[in-house]
Amino acid sequence: MRLTWPLMGSFVVWMCALCGTATASCDSTCGRGGSGECAEITAPIYHAEEPTDDAYYFTRLLRLALDLTADEYGGYCLKPPAVYFSDDRLKASLQQGQVDVIWLVTDKASEREMHAIHVPLLGELNHYRMLLIRRGDESKFAAVQTLEDLQGLTGGMNAQWVDANIMAENGLPYVAVTGYDKLFRMLAAGRFDYFSRGIHQITSELYFYPELDLAIEPHILLKYPSYTYFFVRRDDQPLAERLALGLARAQQTGQFAALYQSIPRFQWAEQQLNSEQRKVIELERDWAEATP
């Protein structure tokens, strides 16, 4: 159940640490020109310096792909948009030209409306989810062994996420919410029984909300096909080609794997996948194109 990327040794880890934090230099005249010029690229890199935030990894991977293609495409300036966007607003901002590249879990609509770079950014790790529950509710989940058992409990989910559709397809009752932070507080308040979270995210989220007395359910893993990709506008072929080339080079050199393996919460997630104490419950996903 693990990613198969090999660790290429301490030298590659050292190299990746350098390229992961580097920012190509550009001056105030940076624009959106072609090869040989400095491209201004807007991406949702909010909180990118915080190791517990998803943007920490994805921003470094984006910079790595851009760094490895600087000879062909020139320098770049990577900056956040002037306004904070999330979920559907972030997708719309990409299509409207306010943002140049985003990362998200793919689905049919996203593939149709935007240009996906079909390199899974989290490998197989994105297939697995754990349940965030209220501390003290562990006994409520102890007898859950099958999908039918889990259908007797109620989850919470952001209505704009792909995962909400998957819960519905599998007959899992859930409370639909627009937003993110409120889901944790609603769970703590007893509005639903669990919040399904990516295995690579859940430890950080416990850190974010220590006052809510939440816990990671210790026995269950959910599994279904899920891939996180970089997306650009459908008409932005140059950036799509640059990212595809940069990611391919990062895979070939081992820098992609080294960056991934340098993230402590990813290391923890891999350890959990090797644990024999967890029951894997597989969910159906009604989309043949869910696998690349």
Of all residues in the chain, what percent are helix, strand and coil, respectively (each to 5)? 40, 20, 40
- Higher-pLDDT residue of 36 and 120 is 120
pLDDT for 30: 56
- Sequence-separated (6 or more) residues with CB below 8 Å from residue 191: 156, 175
Report which secondary-structure segment, H or E, holds 162: helix 162-169
**For 193-227, how does the pLDDT look when each residue is reduced to its tens digit (9 = 90+)?**
999 999 999 998 888 888 999 999 999 999 999 99
pLDDT for 162: 87
Find where tokens 């965030």 sit: 132
* Structural domains of the chain sorted by starting position, each given as residue range(s) with its CATH number in brackets: 10-122+227-261 (3.40.190.10), 126-225+278-290 (3.40.190.10)
Distance of CA 266 to the CA centre of its chain: 11
- Sequence-separated (6 or more) residues with CB below 8 Å from residue 88: 160
Q: How far is CA 99 from CA 12, 43, 80, 96, in A?
A: 31, 6, 8, 8
Q: How far is residue 32's CA from residue 65's CA, in Å, rounded to a whole number?
A: 17
Length of the chain: 292
Question: Considering the entire predicted model, what is its pTM?
Answer: 0.82
